[in-house]
């Protein structure tokens, strides 16, 4: 079975994930806790790490089972085929969310530059492209996750 990426309507990720679980479909919607300021209070809420995306673990012939659930738009495609995420990448995302301060996780747009290898932390031996550097903060595009992350050089070892 493979992990496929579902594209959902805006702000329906958690509801879609719950409905898929009710149907017995294995789903993963990574959530991060953030603090939100309202005029009268501050509240900690859980938001999806990847807006409008959920991951489902299905056989290829079972992919049509997800349609009919309100909020699902379509599958994400890559090179005219349904985008597939490896088990190791899902495990890396889960481990990252457990070990890293969620305020340090940012998803940003991609630019190419020098190639580096992360030498410490939960991303040990992961390679990526440097997007930019501001002081001790390095912005790196991680190929295997297709996301951009901020790396604090005072806490993480990297090599060119």
pLDDT in tens, 90-136: 998 888 888 776 666 544 333 356 778 888 777 888 888 888 877 67
Domain range summary for the chain, segments of one domain joined by +: 2-100, 106-159
CATH of region 2-100, choose from 3.20.20.80, 3.40.50.300, 3.30.70.940, 3.40.50.20: 3.30.70.940
Identical fold, 2-100 and 106-159:
no
CATH 2.30.30.30 fits 106-159, yes or no: yes
Alpha helices, H only, the chain: 13-22, 87-99
Weakest-pLDDT range from 29-38, 99-108, 139-148: 99-108
Q: What is the pLDDT of residue 109?
A: 34
Question: In b/e form, how buried is each residue of 12-23, taking b as 16+ CB within 10 angstroms?
Answer: bbbebbebbeee
Q: What is the C-alpha separation between 145 and 140, in angstroms, rounded? A: 11
Task: Give the predicted TM-score (pTM) of the model.
Answer: 0.63
pLDDT > 90: what percent of the chain?
38
**Summary mean pLDDT of the chain:** 84
């Amino acid at each position: 079975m493979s992990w496929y990426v579902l594209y959902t309507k805006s702000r329906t990720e958690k509801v879609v994930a719950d409905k898929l679980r009710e149907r017995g479909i294995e789903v993963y919607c990574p959530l991060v806790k953030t603090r939100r300021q309202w005029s009268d209070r501050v509240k900690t809420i859980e938001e999806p790490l990847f807006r409008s995306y959920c991951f489902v673990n299905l056989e290829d012939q079972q992919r049509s089972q997800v349609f009919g659930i309100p909020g699902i738009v379509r599958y994400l495609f890559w090179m005219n085929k349904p985008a597939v995420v490896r088990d190791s990448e899902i495990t890396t995302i889960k481990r990252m969310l457990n070990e890293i301060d969620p305020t340090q996780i940012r998803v940003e747009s991609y630019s190419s530059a020098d190639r580096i290898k992360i030498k410490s932390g939960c991303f040990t031996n992961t390679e990526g492209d440097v997007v930019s550097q501001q002081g001790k903060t390095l912005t790196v595009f991680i190929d295997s996750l297709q996301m951009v992350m901020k790396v604090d050089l005072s806490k993480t070892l990297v090599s060119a």
